[in-house]
Structure 1
Amino acid sequence: MTQRRALVVRGGWEGHQPVEATDLFIPYLEGNGYTVRVEGSTEIYADAAEMADTDLVVQCVTMSQITSDQVAGLSAAVAAGTGLTGWHGGIVDSFRASSEYLHLVGGQFATHPGKEPCERHGGAEDNFLPHTVAITDLGREHPITTGVEDFDLVTEQYWVLHDDLIDVLATTTHPTRAWHPWQRPVTSPAIWTRVWGAGRIVVTTPGHSLDVLEHPSVRTVIERGMVWATRIASA
């Protein structure tokens, strides 16, 4: 069997620990028959030959910039069958100025609501809220999330703007609180897939820090998502 090729692209905002976070999953990929190439920038996306030989892209690049030829190269590769996956800001808060990238991924981080103002002290923990990731009916049958029960986290709870081309495997609901301006609970997708041409995309929004990535349910979803997103071999 031909060995599968994974490309790990990491960088951007250091607060999401792109090196340490992706290092958690490289052994899993290697142990499951992938050869892994690691890049510290998105320049490789513009290399059509390299992208055509890549079966899976694991991206962890929060914010940052991307050129038009790089995002066009990534989009073309996915449409041709290269898988794309990632977690948290590394995939859903990347390249905010690129509408082409947002169109590819299907959802964009908007905010993560915070604690009551009197409980904030200026650190990342100001936005760590207890919340539930609820598996949808589709998610209970999907190979990425089958057997995964609803689970609770205390971390950033992503509010995501999205379109309806995504297939939602799990959601999270933002309640109403006296210090927030919205007047009814808002449900956001927390885990989703997207089919783009011949390619598959998987987005997992939990993953702000290493302890969240090591949560058994989060890690299971990310690892299964890598396998599911990988290019489907030709018959």
Structure 2
Amino acid sequence: MTQKRALVVRGGWEGHQPVEATELFLPFLRSNGYAVRVEESTEIYADAAEMAGTDLVVQCVTMSEITREQLAGLISAVAAGTGFTGWHGGIADSFRASSDYLHLVGGQFATHPGKKPCERRGAADDNFLPHTITLTEAGRAHPITAGIEDFALDTEQYWVLHDDLIDVLATTTHPVRPWEPWHRPVTSPAVWTRRWGAGRIVVTTPGHSVDVLENPHVRTIIERGMLWATRTASGS
């Protein structure tokens, strides 16, 4: 059996601990038989031969910028069957200036609502709110999320702008709060898949910090997502 090849690309905003976060998953990949290459920038995306031989890209690059050549290489690889996955800002808040990247992923971070203004102290946890990740009917049947029940988190709750080509496995709902301007609850996708050509994409929005990634539900979803997104022989 040919060994699967995983490419881990990390960088961008340090607040999401791209090195520590990705290191958490390297043992899982290796124990599942992947040869793992780690890159500290997106330059590798422009290497057509390397990308063609990659079965899975795990990206953790928040914000940052990407060149036209690099993005074209990533998009082409995914369309040809390379899997693409990641969590939180490392995939859903990457390359804000690129509409083509947004088109590939299908959802973009818009905000994470915060605590009451009087409770904010200028720290990261100003935006930590208790919320629930709710499985959809599709999610209860999907191999990535099957057997996982709805679960609670106290961390950033992503509000995501998205299109309807994504298959939503889990959602989270932002309630109406007196200090916020919206007038009815807003439900955002929290976990989704997307088919792009022969490739599979998986996005998991929880994952602000290592402790969130270590939550057994979050970690299970991300790890199963890696396996599911990996290139398949049939391309389906």
* Deviation of 1:198 (Å): 0.1
**Residue in 2 aligned with 1:208?**
208
* Deviation of 1:233 (Å): 2.1
**Residue in 1 aligned with 2:169?**
169
**Residue in 2 aligned with 1:39?**
39
Partner SS, residue 9 of structure 2? strand
Moved over 2 A (4+): none
**Residue in 2 aligned with 1:16?**
16
What RMSD, in angstroms, separates the aligned Cα atoms of the two structures? Answer: 0.7
Q: Report Cα offsets for 1:196-228 as digits up to 9, x if no partner.
A: 000000000000000100000000000000000
Q: Report Cα offsets for 1:11-51 as digits up to 9, x if no partner.
A: 00000000000000000000000000000000000100000
Letter matched to residue 66 of structure 2: I
Q: Distance in 1 between matches of 2:71 and 2:166?
A: 19
* Deviation of 1:234 (Å): 4.7
Letter matched to residue 29 of structure 1: L
Q: Distance in 2 between matches of 1:202 and 1:234?
A: 18
**Residue in 2 aligned with 1:193?**
193
Q: Which runs of 5+ in 1 are unaligned?
A: none
Q: Report Cα offsets for 1:100-156 as digits up to 9, x if no partner.
A: 100000000000000000000000000000000000000000000000000000000
Q: Percent identity?
A: 81
Q: Distance in 1 between matches of 2:47 and 2:125?
A: 39
**Residue in 2 aligned with 1:149?**
149
Letter matched to residue 73 of structure 1: G
1:57-76 to 2 correspondences below 5 Å? 57-76=57-76
TM-score by length of 2: 0.99
Q: Distance in 2 between matches of 1:164 and 1:98?
A: 19
* Deviation of 1:187 (Å): 0.1
Letter matched to residue 193 of structure 2: T
Query: When the two structures are aligned, how many residues end up with a matched partner?
Result: 235
* Deviation of 1:87 (Å): 0.1
Letter matched to residue 27 of structure 1: P
**Residue in 1 aligned with 2:158?**
158
Q: Distance in 1 between matches of 2:163 and 2:67?
A: 23
1:94-113 to 2 correspondences below 5 Å? 94-113=94-113
Partner SS, residue 203 of structure 2? strand
Q: Distance in 2 between matches of 1:73 and 1:164?
A: 25
**Residue in 1 aligned with 2:79?**
79
Letter matched to residue 60 of structure 2: C
TM-score by length of 1: 0.99
Q: Which runs of 5+ in 2 are unaligned?
A: none
* Deviation of 1:82 (Å): 0.1
**Residue in 1 aligned with 2:178?**
178
**Residue in 2 aligned with 1:5?**
5
Q: Distance in 2 between matches of 1:31 and 1:233?
A: 21
Letter matched to residue 167 of structure 1: D
Partner SS, residue 200 of structure 2? strand
Q: Distance in 1 between matches of 2:3 and 2:227?
A: 13
Q: Report Cα offsets for 1:52-83 as digits up to 9, x if no partner.
A: 00000000000000001111100000000000
Q: Distance in 2 between matches of 1:149 and 1:134?
A: 8
1:93-132 to 2 correspondences below 5 Å? 93-132=93-132
